[in-house]
Structure 1
Amino acid sequence: MPNKYTFPQDLEKLKQDVLNIIFPIIPANGVSSAPKDFMKIQRTNAGKYLPQHYLVYFLLKDLLGFDNYGRSEKVAWSIPIDFKGKVFLIEHRKMGLGLFASHEQNKEEEAKKIIQLINKAVGKIKPYFNWRASQAINSPYLNVENHSSVIFERYHFFLDQYKSILKTIKQLKNTEDTAALIPSPQVLKLNKQKEWLALATIDAFFSWTEHVFIHLAILKGKITTGNQVAKLALDDWQSKFKLAIDITDGMRPLYDHLCIIKEQIRNYITHGAFGKKGEAFHFHSPIGAIPVFIPKQKEEFQFSFIQKAEIQDDEAIAIIEKFITELWSGSRKPAHLYIQESYLPSILSLANDGTYVKAMKTPEKMENLIDRLCYEFDNASNMDW
């Protein structure tokens, strides 16, 4: 079945094939005996083996057109089905998806057969789900998960560890013999650990910015569809930066420094740790081994004996901290409230209709939007319609 359909031309053919697969499950349209009093029906044990709620909904309602009773208190949707003359309900409640039956008699055996047929149908129509997903990704009716706060916690964890060990090293140096030419073994060990923590801090910072820049671009109305988000996610760091942030005179030096840090330190970890300055090779010369550097090139390798200026770990972290302060200043202050503090997803329809751009004008406008969205999300999660 996966290779037999072309959408949307073959939707009706797929529908008929799936109806054959799930028979004797049929719509309970117009069946007067369908239970309307939800308090008198019972959740079946077999219902816990249903697929994810959205797969069941798209199978029965979206593809097959079964009736949906709609929302009610603590219920998102409710689809009645007929199985050999007996009526069941498949409901997505606050406590989860379930298959429900009348309390008058034990219908567990029938429930097991229903679950088997639904799982079989869901497994057979994966191409349909993929087609619907491709339709959705081209639209603005998507939420983009916001993990910025969690990723930033990782950065801060390593930063705090780095600063702690740096403080310990300074204290030890103050107590050691200042005339000693070689640091103590303890200081040497701590210096190595400090370097590791610096690398981890820098790597965590760039991971965070890769995520934050996408959300900032959404809030500024620069990207409004799922396809644009997916494309930007695959773009390089510089492209994300330039779309999310206007490189003004004040931001230009920070951007230039961060590009160097990313190439020398972050990429050093990511691409095999061949050297912070790209010293992957040593040339056999009459005067001994000479490092050969690999400058960053997008199209082809160009080798050199000339190394670029190096930014030390301590300096790199100071630049990063300065950038974070600058990032959330001025016109980007409202974005900090949404991206770092609200835990809300970025909603592409709000980027598409200009809601985010309006909220970005002042922190107060953004706070009002956050309050409204949190209220709506709370109601939805509690199924308080």
Structure 2
Amino acid sequence: MAPEDIELIRKSAQQALGIIKAADGNTRADKHFLFNRKQVITRRKLPPYYLVYFLMVDLLRFKDLGRFEKIDWSIPIDFNGIAFLLEHGKFGLGVYAHDPEGEGAAAEEIATRVQKAVKIATPFFDHLARQAMELSEVNVVNNSIPLYCRFEFMSKAYKSKCAELAAESELHALKAKQKHLPLGVWVLGGAYSNLKQEAGWLAISAIESFFSWTEHVLVHVAILTGGVTTAHEIADLAAADWPRKFRAVFDIKSIEEKSLFDSALCLRQELRNYVAHGAFGKGGEAFSFHSSAGAVPVLLPKKMEVRNFLWVATWISIMNWRLG
């Protein structure tokens, strides 16, 4: 952004602040104001603390008094000749005054004007963000552990439900044997059907949590191994699809690796993506057409392969071991 553009934004933001200016020697304030100031609870919520700081200090060049006990930064301002503070610390961002009740209306006006100035200064904030990206001065939050814990929890829940399902099946088989019924005659009850349905739901949830975890952790592994080195490369990889993230970390050379990758991709497309996007599917799987034979699936020659959930759980275990 050109200096003249920043100057235009600066003037517009200052106009939005109106009579708010940096506190100086003419601003009325109790000599112990910095120690006995009180927060005013304003009805209008202040913008995020970092935007207020960028506006007041970086753009408008107000003075920051610096850190103090439980305070990250404190900006003294003048409103109609009276001192106020815009301050951020342990208890968040707030407007501070001598008398919260008597100066409440003024604090509301300050909050309103700061809101307006922050909106006007948005192009300047974008400029700061672009600069940080260009210099790769960014941090990447690591949520790998909570995402993995979610995957582990859902996998255990699925396996537990499968154990219930097996126990229910054995119980029915035992009852059929006691009644001397042929194996092909006895019918599983409603409890078994419910358990089977719940196991299916849990399996889908486990798959969903697996891809959620790996989509995140693969980006971090790529950063640590030098697969991506700049902020722009990291942002691009984070927005990319799962196959590209996988290839950024793993060299798919052996038959075993290729087989695992193809299985994962198939699972993602046929199960995870299908459910995640409203169970319609991208190939018209949810549609059928009317015919003299009745309702017929649109995908006559391309019927999607049905995966057994036990196979899914086994595959997840293999991939978990592989990535671990």
Range into which the TM-score falls when normalised by the shorter chain: 0.7 to 0.9
Q: Mean Cα displacement is larger for which, 165-174 or 263-272?
A: 263-272
- Picking from 247, 255, 268, the partner of 2:261 is 255
Structure 2 residue aligned with 1:360 = none
Q: Distance in 1 between matches of 2:304 and 2:73?
A: 62
Say if 2:62 is the partner of 1:66.
Answer: yes
Alpha-carbon offset, residue 326 of structure 1: 2.0
Letter in 2 for 1:223: V
1: CA distance between counterparts of 2:43 and 2:71? 16
- The answer as to whether partners of 1:47 and 1:99 remain within 8 angstroms in 2 is no
Deviation at 1:103, TM superposition (A): 6.3
The separation in 1 between residues aligned to 2:129 and 2:215, in whole angstroms, is 24
Q: Give the percent of matched residue pairs that are identical in Structure 1 and Structure 2.
A: 36
Partner Cα separation in structure 2 for residue 185 and residue 266 of structure 1: 29
Quick one: distance in 2 between partners of 1:19 and 1:289? 67
Cα 1:274–1:72 shift into 2, 3 Å:
closer
* Counterpart amino acid of residue 267 in structure 1: N
Q: Residues 47 and 93 from structure 1, CA distance in 2 versus in 1: closer, same or farther, beyond 3 angstroms?
A: farther
Q: Higher Cα Rg: structure 1 or 2?
A: 2
Q: How many residues align?
A: 313
Is residue 2:233 matched to residue 1:228? yes
2:249 to 235, 244, 249: 244
Deviation sequence 1:252-291 (CA, Å, 0-9, x none)? 4322321222222223323454689986677999999987
Partner of 1:101: 97
1:376 is matched with none
Check conservation: 2:22, 2:63, Cα contact below 8 A: yes
Shift of 1:243: 0.9
The farther-off stretch of 40-49 and 54-63 is 40-49
Amino acid at match of 1:230: A
Which residue pairs with 2:270 in the alignment? Answer: 264
Verify the 8 A CA contact 1:265 1:276 in the aligned structure 2.
no
CA contact (8 A) 2:37 2:98 kept: yes
The Cα offsets for residues 115-141 of structure 1, whole Å up to 9 and x where unpaired, read as 222222223333333333333344422
**Structure 1 residue aligned with 2:148, among 133, 152, 167?**
152
- Aligned positions of 1:1-385 closer than 5 A: 8-29=3-24, 38-46=34-42, 49-102=45-98, 106-175=102-171, 176=173, 177=176, 179-181=182-184, 183-186=187-190, 187-247=192-252, 249=254, 251-273=257-279, 293=299, 305=301, 311-328=307-324
Q: Give the TM-score of the pair, scaled to structure 1.
A: 0.69
1:139/1:36 CA distance change after superposition, 3 Å? farther
3-state SS of 1:227 partner: helix
Q: Is the 8 A contact 1:42 1:100 kept in 2?
A: yes
Distance 1:220 1:138 in 2: 21
Q: Looking at both structures, which has the greater relative contact order when contacts are Cα pairs under 8 Å and sequence separation is at least 6?
A: 1
Give the distance between the partners of 1:24 and 1:279, measured in 2 at CA.
63
RMSD of the TM alignment (CA)?
3.6
What displacement does 1:185 show? 2.5
Q: CA deviation at 1:78?
A: 1.2
Q: CA deviation at 1:61?
A: 0.7
**Cα contact 2:39–2:100 (8 A) shared by 1:** no
Supply the AA of the counterpart residue of 2:240: D
Alpha-carbon shift at residue 51 of structure 1 (Å)? 2.3
Q: Taking structure 2 as the reference length, what is the TM-score of the superposition?
A: 0.80
Question: Shift in Å at residue 63 of structure 1?
Answer: 1.0
Long gaps (5+) in structure 2: none
* In structure 2, C-alpha distance between the alignment counterparts of 1:162 and 1:30, rounded to whole Å: 69
Pair 1:80–1:169, CA change in 2 (3 A): same
More displaced stretch, 91-100 vs 130-139: 130-139
8 A contact 1:264–1:278 mirrored in 2: no
Please say if residues 254 and 323 of structure 1, whose CA atoms lie closer than 8 Å, have aligned partners that are also in contact: yes
Q: CA deviation at 1:108?
A: 3.2
- Of the structure 1 ranges 41-50 and 240-249, higher mean CA displacement relative to structure 2 is found in 41-50
